[in-house]
Amino acid sequence: MPRSYGGWFRLVAIAEALSWAGLLVAMAFKYGLGWPLGVTVMGSIHGAMFTAYVVIALVVFSPLRWRFWTLAIALVASVPPLATVWFERWANGRGLLTEPDSDAPTFWGRVRYVLKELN
């Protein structure tokens, strides 16, 4: 099991890409052989993995200290088939999947502070 934000992100990104590939295969069976059940099953699995990827990207961008554009690219990568693997490789190559050593507040820490002050 992953023990870091980057590890969890990698796991979900690869699972989302595999579910995309499974859905594409199921679509080939549906339209090529007339077997629609695979799309029903893989569509549900891919929907869950797509949702998990979007949620994990929104969760990890703050502790990993991603800029807004990095988050935006991660979210856009969830749409084309297998692009989440490309983004994971790209982010890993630039060191964006390792937690930086910093005492500065994260995005969610700043949001929590603002909400506390408004209350």
The 10 Å Cβ neighbour count of residue 100 is: 10
Say yes or no to pLDDT of 1 above 80. Answer: no
For residues 65-73, average pLDDT: 94
* Average pLDDT along the chain: 91
CA distance 68 to 40: 35
Instruction: Place 58 in a pLDDT band, splitting at 50, 70 and 90.
Output: very high
Burial, 10: exposed, middle or buried (Cβ in 10 Å; 0-12, 13-18, 19+)?
A: buried
Of 110 and 9, the one with more pLDDT:
9
CA distance 14 to 42: 15
Instruction: Place 35 in a pLDDT band, splitting at 50, 70 and 90.
Output: confident
For residues 86-113, average pLDDT: 87
| pLDDT reported for residue 44 | 95
| pLDDT reported for residue 47 | 96
Q: Say which residues have a Cβ less than 8 Å from residue 97's Cβ, sequence separation at least 6.
A: 5, 6, 9, 10, 64, 88, 91
Angle between helices 83-93 and 5-33 (to 10 degrees): 160
Q: What is the DSSP code (8-state) at residue 2?
A: -
